[in-house]
């Protein structure tokens, strides 16, 4: 029988930068981002796919990085919260979160921003229901959600 | 923490089948159940065989007359978003929309949900009422079986060592209404307390109803075609189907509900379903 390795070589693009890394096959994508690439903006809440704090955009789609292995994403393009603001310039969505008090402790915020930005990218003018549905996989223990929805709505209205 | 594990991403089905012969090898597609189970230590595979590179699993076609084919790589959001599928077989998208969250549905697959064989699997009832078959490949070639023969118990399927589900095939879609309904404690993250799917063809007088989370496997009600032929009155039909449901299921007490409540809810949801698809 063939021997199979517990270490996997992967090549990924994260926020536009190319990485070639060797990772243990039991390492989640979340831990790879946080501990290998030191991109600690992506948070670990539950670690079991329920809270959305670890949401990143993988090949254009928001996913929970705690339920994916780094080994599985060879050849992929990844966007994390670190890639949002450019040259110290916040995105409209980040700015709206500040203006509408969409964050308190901030732990859920990177996940919300990634889910919401991805919604706005695929649908620039979402209805309130579509916004709620798009972030329904992101939990927030502080804000009560209303200011977050308002922030996303504000960006959608401004664009349209 | 997830225990050390080997990983292999085959380029061909033959390579995948060969790798799956290994002791303790598991296929991984979306991984949304498997990785969480590995983290909890409830599953400890020695080798993960990543099937996401296999073209044979990346198939999808939907056509009312010749049926629907869905490969093992197709994720749940795809089933929700595909306009043609929504048109000819909306019950698949409705079922999929009730599963987990948008992020997880970008990874989770229909076939993963079926292979995981949870009694509460949200994609299963629709498969039963549509008479879906699974196409399996393995060391002894290909075989096909009905979904009701494939799911054999709690977390158990008819898959043998080294076998892999390649796709599901749904035969000709009957004309008529179909729906999926789910009772859960809170919307979004909770598994089903009871789920039901149904399809009614008023011209051919066929009625299929399947109830999930109320026995070790989903329960396809027997005798519903006859009931449908015996009465045109929707209320009567709903009552009689609900009675049939009560007798056909064997729910248990667990964290989500008592058996008694499940039995009541199965009856309520079957009635709601009948009103939706038979009137
Ligand atoms: S940490 Fe990934 S969903 Fe909670
Ligand atoms: S701001 Fe604290 S969890 Fe959302």
pLDDT digits (tens, 9 = 90+) for B254-264: 888 999 999 99
pLDDT digit string, tens, across residues B74-93: 999 999 999 999 999 999 99
**What is the pLDDT at residue B191?**
87
What pLDDT digit, counting tens, does each position of B3-26 carry? 999 999 999 999 999 999 998 999
Instruction: Return the CATH superfamily for domain A7-80.
Output: Beta-grasp domain (3.10.20.30)
- pLDDT interval class at A32 (50, 70, 90): very high
Question: What DSSP character marks residue A141?
Answer: S
Tell whether the torsion through CA atoms of B186, A133, B32 and A63 is positive or negative: negative
Whole-number pLDDT of residue B188? 65
Matching residue, tokens 């977390």: B155
pLDDT exceeds cutoff 90 at B186: no
CATH class of A92-159: mainly alpha
The mean per-residue pLDDT over the stretch B209-216 comes to 96
Distance from CA of B48 to the nearest CA of A (A): 9
> What per-residue confidence (pLDDT) applies to A1?
59
Listed in sequence order, the DSSP H helices in chain A are 29-31, 92-99, 109-122, 128-134, 146-159
A17 touches chain B (CB under 8 A): no
- How high is the pLDDT of residue B251? 92
**Residues of chain B found within 8 Å of residue A69, distances taken between Cβ atoms:** 7, 28, 31, 35, 48
Chain-chain contact of A5 with B7 (C-beta, under 8 angstroms) = yes
Taking CA–CA distances from B29, the nearest residue in chain A reads: A72
Asked if A70 reaches chain B (Cβ–Cβ under 8 Å), the answer is: no
Check: pTM over 0.90? Answer yes or no. yes
Q: What's the mean pLDDT in B105-127?
A: 97
Closest Cα in chain B, distance from residue A26 (Å): 5
B114 close to B76: Cβ distance less than 8 angstroms = no
* Residue partners of A56: CB distance under 8 A and separation at least 6: A29, A33, A42, A62, A63, A65, A78, A79, A80, A114
Across B32-37, average pLDDT: 97
- Please, where are the H alpha helices in chain B? 13-20, 34-40, 76-81, 83-88, 90-97, 102-105, 110-116, 124-129, 147-150, 224-230, 234-248, 259-277
Contact A136 B36 (CB under 8 A): no
Cα–Cα distances (Å) from B272 to A97, B122, B174, B238, in that order, read: 41, 17, 21, 8
Rg over CA atoms, chain B = 19
Q: How confident is the model at residue A159 (pLDDT cuts 50, 70, 90)?
A: low
Task: Report residue A82's pLDDT band, with 50, 70 and 90 as the boundaries.
Answer: very high
Average pLDDT over chain A, rounded to an integer? 96
Distance from first CA to last CA of chain A, Å, rounded? 59
Per domain, the residue ranges of chain B are 1-173, 177-278
Q: How far is CA A156 from the centre of its chain?
A: 19
d(CA A110, CA B139): 46
Question: Residue B2's closest chain A neighbor by CA?
Answer: A26
Nearest to B68 by CA among B93, B98, B100: B93
Residue A145: its pLDDT value, please? 97
**Domain locations in chain A as residue ranges:** 7-80, 92-159
Find the mean pLDDT for residues A127-140: 96
- Cβ separation of A67 and B35 shorter than 8 Å? yes
Measured from the CB, is residue A142 less than 6 Å from ligand 2?
yes
Confidence bin at A5 (pLDDT 50/70/90): very high
Considering only CB atoms, A67 lies closest to which of B3, B7, B36, namely B36
**What residues of A are in contact with residue B6 (Cβ under 8 Å)?**
4-6, 25
Q: What is the mean pLDDT of residues A90-109?
A: 97
| pLDDT (mean) for A1-14 | 92
- Mean pLDDT of all residues in B41-59: 97
With CA atoms as reference, the chain B residue closest to A2 would be B19
**pLDDT of the residue at A158:** 87
Q: What's the mean per-residue pLDDT of chain B?
A: 95
Lowest mean pLDDT among A15-29, A67-81, B187-201: B187-201
> What's the CA-to-centroid distance between A59 and ligand 1, angstroms?
19
- Whether residue A141 is predicted with pLDDT greater than 80 in this model: the reply is yes
pLDDT at B31 over 80: yes
B224-247 pLDDT per residue, tens: 999 999 998 999 999 999 999 999
Give the pLDDT confidence score for residue B185 in this predicted structure.
87
CATH 1.10.287.130 corresponds to the domain B1-173: no
**A21 pocket-lining for ligand 1 (C-beta < 6 Å):** no
Q: In this predicted structure, what is the pLDDT of residue B190?
A: 79
| Residue-level pLDDT at A160 | 60
- Domain B177-278: assigned CATH number: 3.30.390.50
């Amino acid at each position: 029988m063939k021997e199979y390795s517990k270490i996997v070589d992967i090549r990924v693009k994260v926020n536009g930068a190319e990485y070639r890394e060797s990772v243990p096959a039991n390492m989640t994508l979340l831990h790879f981002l946080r501990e290998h690439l030191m991109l600690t903006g992506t948070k670990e809440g539950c670690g079991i796919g329920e809270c959305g704090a670890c949401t990143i955009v993988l090949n254009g789609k928001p996913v929970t990085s705690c339920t994916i292995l780094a080994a599985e994403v060879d050849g992929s393009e990844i966007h994390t919260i670190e890639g949002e603001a450019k040259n110290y310039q916040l995105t409209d969505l980040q700015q709206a979160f500040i203006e509408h008090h969409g964050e308190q402790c901030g732990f859920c915020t990177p996940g919300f921003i990634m889910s919401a930005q991805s919604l706005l990218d695929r649908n620039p003018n979402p209805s309130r229901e579509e916004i709620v549905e798009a972030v329904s996989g992101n939990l927030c223990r502080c804000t009560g959600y209303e200011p977050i929805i308002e922030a996303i709505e504000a960006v959608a209205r401004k664009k349209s | 923490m997830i225990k050390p594990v080997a990983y292999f991403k085959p380029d061909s089905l033959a390579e995948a089948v060969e790798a799956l012969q290994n002791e303790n090898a598991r296929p991984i597609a979306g991984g949304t159940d498997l990785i969480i189970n590995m983290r909890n230590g409830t599953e400890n595979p020695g080798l993960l065989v990543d099937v996401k590179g296999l073209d044979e699993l990346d198939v999808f076609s939907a056509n009312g007359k010749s049926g629907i084919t869905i490969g093992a790589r197709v994720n749940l959001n795809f089933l929700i978003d595909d306009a043609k599928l929504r048109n000819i077989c909306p019950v698949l998208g409705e079922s999929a929309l009730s599963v987990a969250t948008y992020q997880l549905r970008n990874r989770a697959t229909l076939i993963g949900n079926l292979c995981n064989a949870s009694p509460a699997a949200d994609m299963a009832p629709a498969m039963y009422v549509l008479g879906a078959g699974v196409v399996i490949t393995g060391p002894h070639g290909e075989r096909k079986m009905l979904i009701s023969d494939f799911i054999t118990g709690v977390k158990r399927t008819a898959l043998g060592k080294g076998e892999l589900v390649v796709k599901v095939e749904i035969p000709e879609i009957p004309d008529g209404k179909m729906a999926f309904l789910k009772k859960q404690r809170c919307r979004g993250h909770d598994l089903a307390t009871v789920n039901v799917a149904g399809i009614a063809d008023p011209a051919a007088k066929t009625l299929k109803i399947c109830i999930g989370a109320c026995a070790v496997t989903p329960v396809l009600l027997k005798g519903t075609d006859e009931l449908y032929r015996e009465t045109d009155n929707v209320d009567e039909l709903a009552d009689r189907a609900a009675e049939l449901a009560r007798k056909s299921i064997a729910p248990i007490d667990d964290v989500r509900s008592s058996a008694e409540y499940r039995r009541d809810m199965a009856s309520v949801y079957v009635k709601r379903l009948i009103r939706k698809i038979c009137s």
